[in-house]
Every structure is written in C-alpha cells, then in structure tokens.
Amino acid sequence: MSRRLVFIIISLASFLVLGSVVQAQSPRTLPIDDYKPVTIPGAHIRTLSSTNTKRDYDIYIHLPNATPQNAGKKYPVLYLLDGQWDFKLLDSVYGGLYYDKFVPEMIIIGITYSGPNPNYDLLRSYDYTPVAEADRPGTGDGPKFLAFLKNELFPMIEKNYPCLRSTQCSLSRACALDTWLPVRQRCTARDFSSPRNLNTPPGERICQSNSSYRWVRLRT
C-alpha cells in the first residue's frame, strides 16, 4: 500500500471521527411544533362576533389571582383597544404597578381583531373613525363600534366576570374615537384625561401631544 493511499485513508477516518464528535455535542433542533408556546399567566382569549360591526374580535382577558381570600370580590375593569400590540406590554407594566401598590387589582380586557393575518391598520380605520372619509371607503363605523362595546362586549364581560360596573376605563391610541365619545355619548363616557393626570376634570381635552395614549373612564 502506497504512502499516499495510507494518508488518504487516515484523513478520511479522522474526518469521520471529528464529524461524529461535533454531531454528538450539537444541541438537537426540534421541529417548531414541539416547542411550548409562550403564554401570559392568568390570561385567556375569547372570540366575539359582533352583530353591529359584522366583524369578529379576539378579546384578551387578564384576571386577578383567584384565592380563597378574594372569593366574591369584584374588580374594576380596564378596556384596552389595540390589544394585538399593547395587551402584553400593559400586562407586564401592570404587574409592577400593582406590586408597588400604585394601582388596585383589576381585570384587563384587550380588544383586537380575529382571523388569520388580520389587517389591523385597515380594520381599526373602520372602527376608530366616527365619521366616514370620502377617500377611505369603509371608514366611519365609530357608532357601530361603540354599540358593539355597549351592547355586546360590556354585557358579556359583566355576565361572566366579577366586575365593578361603576369603575370601567378604556385606554387607547385612538385619539379621534376618544375625542368623539364625550361629545356624542355623554351617557357612556366620562372623566377624560391623559395618563399623566387621571384626576383631570370631565370634559378636559384629551388629545395631548405629550402622550400617545388616551384614557376614557366609561359608564354603561
């Protein structure tokens, strides 16, 4: 056997041994379906089909911890628009605020759109505009969306969860909708303010440039 052939055989054997060692040390990659999904403790999703807007909504619901000590207790409710973007963020921020005793225990309701790959920007332009815009077909469903909140979502939440009906709030990016609520629906909304000053008197202008969020305290 020539030296060249011996060298080739030894080289191939070395590569095979090295490859088996590397393969043994590499972590096993599982198919994506084998991984557990990330979930938010204490939260779940319900789907609600609206007879007013003719759209389907996913309702994200965060509940306080159930313990024997708080059996029968009722909680204030925070309704959050754009739940697809902000529910996880608010749930995390709320945990710190509650731990430091800045806010009470509450139920958090995130409202978003159901279905595969919903076009959030388009759908919210329908629901969050109080009047139709000539160059944007489908806009102006604010009154229908408000009817969905008052007549469908609020009753469903109050029927199934321990709510304090007198202390309900909404938090959203929808400045146009939040401005329209106190003007057109005085029986539904009250105590408007930005997050910087939750004690702002009723009727205070809420479209402020120093915050991207607007609070609306609701009364059904």
State pLDDT tens for residues 175-212.
445 545 544 554 344 433 333 344 444 443 333 333 34
Among 50-54, 134-138, 147-151, the range with the most confident prediction by mean pLDDT is 50-54
132 pLDDT above the threshold of 80: yes
pLDDT (0 to 100) of residue 198:
40
Both 106 and 25 in a single domain?
no
Q: CB–CB of 182/214 below 8 Å? A: no
Q: CB–CB of 113/84 below 8 Å? A: yes
Lowest mean pLDDT, pick from 44-58, 88-102, 159-173: 159-173
In this structure, what DSSP letter does residue 194 have? -
Domain that holds residue 98: 34-218
Both 26 and 41 in a single domain?
no
pLDDT (0 to 100) of residue 139:
86
pLDDT (0 to 100) of residue 138:
84
Q: CA-to-CA distance for 6 and 3, rounded, in angstroms?
A: 5
Give strand pairing partners of 110. Answer: 60, 80
Give strand pairing partners of 218. Answer: 168, 189
Both 107 and 208 in a single domain?
yes
Backbone angles phi, psi at 99, to 5 degrees: -60, -40
56-62 β-sheet, strand order? 43-49, 56-62, 107-113, 75-80, 163-172, 214-218, 189-193
pLDDT (0 to 100) of residue 6:
52
Both 53 and 158 in a single domain?
yes
Closest CA to 79 of 66, 93, 90, 71: 90
Both 126 and 25 in a single domain?
no
Both 149 and 172 in a single domain?
yes
Both 156 and 170 in a single domain?
yes
**Mean pLDDT score, 77-90:** 89
Q: CB–CB of 90/171 below 8 Å? A: yes
pLDDT (0 to 100) of residue 19:
56
CATH number of the domain at 119, please: 3.40.50.1820
38: pLDDT confidence band, cut at 50, 70 and 90? Answer: confident
Both 77 and 19 in a single domain?
no
In this structure, what DSSP letter does residue 31 have? P
Both 42 and 27 in a single domain?
no
Both 193 and 161 in a single domain?
yes
Query: What whole-number percentage of the chain has pLDDT above 70?
Result: 60
Of 37 and 73, the one with more pLDDT? 73
Both 75 and 55 in a single domain?
yes
Domain count for the chain: 2
Both 9 and 87 in a single domain?
no
Give the CA diameter of the chain: 99
The one-letter amino acid at 63: L
pLDDT (0 to 100) of residue 128:
86
